[in-house]
Amino acid sequence: MQTSSVIDPLSTPARAQSPLYVLCLALIAAISGFLFGFDTAVINGVLYFLRHQFALNDLQLEVAASSLLLGCLLGAAGASLIGDRIGRRRSLLCAALLFAVSTVGAALARSVVQFSVGRLIGGLAIGLASCLTPVYIAEIAPARNRGTLVSMNQLAIVVGILCAYMVSWQLAYLGDTSWRWMLGVAAIPSMAFFFGLLAIPESPRWLIVNGQRVRGEQVMARIFGAQEAVEQVRLVEEAANAEAGSWREVFAGPMRKRLTVALALAVLCQVTGINTVLYYGSIIISDRFPGQSASAAFTANIVIGITNLVFTLFALLFLDRWGRRTMLLTAFGGMCVSLSVLVLGLYTPGTSPLVMLGSVICFVASFAFGMGPVVWIVISEIFPSKIRGRAASVATSTLWTSTLLVTFTFLSLVKILNLAGTFAIYAFLCLIAFLYTWKFVPETRGKTLEQIQQEWQD
């Protein structure tokens, strides 16, 4: 699809290679990650007040928390169709509008049903963005720093999570209606995302694969320089010519190994329990330690959010040095140990709350250092160009299905097994994830997307 030169800065002749230019493209795309993080984590504070205003029971709380995730699942399922048909950039523009509509709709809700519908619309936006933003960044990034650039989306997610916690903390004094303001402030970054997308080009690989070679080469020239762009275009065309680009190919034999790895990582990064801390933290703290104020619960959330941010920054430093596989192993191992300590603390009478909070912080730190950024990177880089959108959609839909399952069952599991039993299950799943990664997940650090495609041929 051709884009108007008014909003396409690449309609002019290509200029010299500019690393800053690539960084700017990635930063603008990563605003979707901020919205992703904010919209998912703000429920932590919202539920604390929503439960009182609408007198919700545990099942209604799970529905309110999960409605966004159902939308995420549906959005991710449709992301490949939209992203492959109209392009990565235009699809993200649609997501930006959905973010804005959801924010206003949920903030003005007069019932839990209206709230859930508004949040479901926001989930559609997150589903689209969570699938296509890593793909877009991977397709504009040079191989030598693709891991760092793609992980900027994850960095934006954790910044959004921390901002959601801080906003909830600052607005908690407004009382039971404060949740409306917690949601409403996200309208500002939603519009910033929309207008930022108007200033960036379409993915060069999508342009070339879809018959727009000249425009694709122009974008490549801005990223790699004019001479290198010619070679990059040739590699993309050769790879595209060897691909059928159909849904059948996504599930065909040559793709089976990489699809299995992508789906396994998508499931394992969620069923290990990270979102129970991010979504239900305030309720866990207030129920586990009666007498604690909302402010105390939100303060603990901020500590967790800062930990998430700091260790995501560490991940950025090591992603293209240590490699994907090493960081995944580090993450799963750390998560397993941290949750094991938490479970022992919950089972042992008189254990200091600081010990349990420390184990939760280590759990979040381990996730942020490895699982948070690496899963999205692997999903975005292991598939060939013509099916990358479809395959990423399948993997991301699987990820959101896992998230929905964990979020919708957490409070019910706690009622049946108590908090210690529930986290013991998550600790065991961390061990399974470690062993799977050790056995089956290969390294992709420092390789072009086309090299990865070649090396994964069965």
DSSP secondary structure of 107-130: HT-SSHHHHHHHHHHHHHHHHHHH
pLDDT of residue 160: 93
Residue 246, Cβ neighbours under 10 Å: how many? 12
- Residue-wise pLDDT for 55-94, tens only, equals 888 888 888 888 998 998 899 888 878 988 899 999 999 9
Quickly list DSSP for 176-245: GGHHHHHHHTTHHHHHHHHHHHTTSPPPHHHHHHTT-HHHHHHHHHHHH-HHHHHHHHHHHHHHHHT---
Is 11 a residue whose pLDDT tops 60?
A: no
Residues 6+ apart with CB under 8 A from 193: 28, 31, 32, 34, 35, 92, 96, 99
More confident residue, 224 or 427: 427
Residues 6+ apart with CB under 8 A from 248: none
Q: How confident is the model at residue 121 (pLDDT cuts 50, 70, 90)?
A: very high
Residues 93, 194 contacting (CB under 8 angstroms): yes
More confident residue, 54 or 333: 333
Q: How confident is the model at residue 145 (pLDDT cuts 50, 70, 90)?
A: confident
87: left (phi over 0), alpha (psi -120 to 50) or beta: left
pLDDT of residue 231: 84
The one-letter code for the residue type at 140 is I
- Joined tokens for residue 161: 């999570």
pLDDT of residue 181: 93
Reported as type and span, the H/E element at residue 338 is helix 324-347
Reported as type and span, the H/E element at residue 390 is helix 385-440
284 vs 37: CA distance, rounded Å: 20
More confident residue, 325 or 458: 325
323: left (phi over 0), alpha (psi -120 to 50) or beta: left
Q: What is the mean pLDDT of the chain?
A: 84
Q: Please name which of 197, 239, 237, 198 lies closest in space to residue 214, comparing C-alpha atoms.
A: 237
Which pTM was predicted?
A: 0.76
What's the average model confidence in pLDDT over 98-127? 94
The one-letter code for the residue type at 150 is V
Lowest-confidence region among 81-95, 101-115, 286-300: 286-300
The class of domain 18-455 in CATH terms is mainly alpha
Characterize 332-350 residue by residue with b for buried, 16 or more Cβ atoms within 10 angstroms of its Cβ, and e for exposed.
bbbbbbbbbbbbebbeeee
Is 395 a residue whose pLDDT tops 90?
A: no
- Joined tokens for residue 335: 């998560």
Instruction: Report the Cα 207 to chain-centroid distance in Å.
Output: 25
Q: Please name which of 198, 195, 215, 202 lies closest in space to residue 12, comparing C-alpha atoms.
A: 215
Q: How confident is the model at residue 4 (pLDDT cuts 50, 70, 90)?
A: very low
More confident residue, 34 or 441: 34
Is 388 a residue whose pLDDT tops 90?
A: no
pLDDT of residue 25: 92
Q: Give the highest mean pLDDT range of 18-27, 145-154, 189-198.
A: 189-198
What's the average model confidence in pLDDT over 405-415? 88
307 vs 286: CA distance, rounded Å: 21
Q: Please name which of 112, 450, 414 lies closest in space to residue 280, comparing C-alpha atoms.
A: 414
pLDDT of residue 348: 87
Q: How confident is the model at residue 107 (pLDDT cuts 50, 70, 90)?
A: very high
pLDDT of residue 424: 96
Radius of gyration of the chain (CA): 22
Lowest-confidence region among 124-128, 130-134, 227-231: 227-231
What's the average model confidence in pLDDT over 419-435? 95
200 vs 144: CA distance, rounded Å: 22
Q: How confident is the model at residue 242 (pLDDT cuts 50, 70, 90)?
A: low
What's the average model confidence in pLDDT over 371-389? 80
More confident residue, 424 or 139: 424
Residues 392, 383 contacting (CB under 8 angstroms): yes
Percent of the chain exceeding pLDDT 70 equals: 91
How many residues in total does the chain contain?
458
pLDDT of residue 128: 92
Q: Please name which of 57, 158, 61, 169 lies closest in space to residue 116, comparing C-alpha atoms.
A: 61
pLDDT of residue 139: 87
Q: How confident is the model at residue 307 (pLDDT cuts 50, 70, 90)?
A: very high
Domain ranges (residues) in the chain: 18-455
Is 23 a residue whose pLDDT tops 60?
A: yes
What's the average model confidence in pLDDT over 427-448? 88
Residues 204, 219 contacting (CB under 8 angstroms): yes
380 vs 104: CA distance, rounded Å: 31
* DSSP class of 367: I
Is 15 a residue whose pLDDT tops 50?
A: no
pLDDT of residue 457: 64
pLDDT of residue 94: 95
